[in-house]
Amino acid sequence: MAALTVAVPMLSAQSLTVTRPHARVRSPNVGVSPCLSSRRADFASNKVSGMRMGTTHSRGERLRLVVRAQKEEYSNATKLRSEAQAPFRTARTFLFGGLAAAAGLGTFFAVARLAASVLGAPSAIPLPVALKDLGIDLGALAVCALVLKRDNEAKNKQLQRISREETLGRLQVELSNGRLVRLEQLRQFARPVIVAGTAEEVQQYMAAAEGSRAALLERGVIAVPVALDNVTPDLPELEEDAKRWRAAPVRLDAWKSWLSAQMADAKVSAGSAVYLSLRMDGRVRGSGKGCPPWERMAVQLPKTEGMWAGMGDGFDGFVGEQ
């Protein structure tokens, strides 16, 4: 009986000792729980760090997508326009690329034959013949490489020009009736002429067009005066029948940014007075410094109304740089 009396407390003590850690785990109010707190803190920090790592990864993915998009310099529409304007370039590239590959392979074998001739190998061709063959192969390879290089340079220049024209076409103007349109929306309807410079220069160049304004209106010319000095040019009010002669640029900063980029490419000093005339299809017909050749445009450009309207839309004449 005494042993039983002693054993019971011992068992209860052991049970309390064993079950106390479980109580610590189950009850959040137990005071002694440094290990549990550290585990919870580690779990929470790992969770947060995992979330942060996921966020960083997504940002990295976005950055890579942005870089990939920046590498795609030209849109598919730009490339299609380039191929349409130069339809035989792809065939020429394929043809001369194959010829260059054949010439390169021939050069490899010619070098091997030349080495055999120099070393005096049996059944080797004479040295003059080996030199002649090598020279022919090298010449053919050089010609093919030159043609491919010139084609590639012409393609890059054409893509740059088309890309600039598309960017210009997205710039907005305000018509005399208050309607806001992109410049590309005027294609097949008008021939915009951009007149850029200081407010005083713009006023002077627009005044110089007054003598030819009627003839220019018959040819669909619409002037877009752009003041680069942030001063609104003082232009006279237009008559009712001449409202379509002028359009005001919208978002002048975008216009100035585009013109500044063009001046930098053409190595023209920033802020210079320039003009840019567009064809009916939106392509650049001519550009230069100073005042646009209004009188020459009035003579060279075909009319947009009358019996012969539309016959010369693709042949807007040539206006060279001044």
| All structural domains of the chain with their residue ranges | 78-164, 172-235+244-300
Number of H helices and E strands in the chain, helices first, is 9, 7
Enter the CATH code of domain 172-235+244-300: 3.40.30.10
* Alpha-carbon gap, residue 73 to 24, rounded angstroms: 64
* Alpha-carbon gap, residue 292 to 226, rounded angstroms: 13
- pLDDT tens column, 98-133: 999 999 999 999 999 999 988 888 888 888 998 999
3 state SS of 192: strand
- pLDDT tens column, 20-46: 444 444 444 444 444 444 444 454 444
- pLDDT bucket at 157, cuts 50 / 70 / 90: confident
- pLDDT tens column, 199-234: 999 999 999 999 999 999 999 999 999 999 888 888
- For residue 36, the model assigns a pLDDT of 44
| Weakest-pLDDT range from 77-91, 95-109, 132-146, 234-248 | 77-91
Residue 288 has pLDDT above 80, yes or no: yes
- pLDDT tens column, 162-175: 888 888 989 999 99
Q: Which residue has the tokens 């220049």?
A: 157
User: Rounded to two decimals, what is the model's pTM?
Assistant: 0.61
Helix axes 76-85, 127-169, angle to 10 degrees: 120
Q: What is the mean pLDDT of the chain?
A: 77
Q: Hey, what amino acid is at 139? A: G
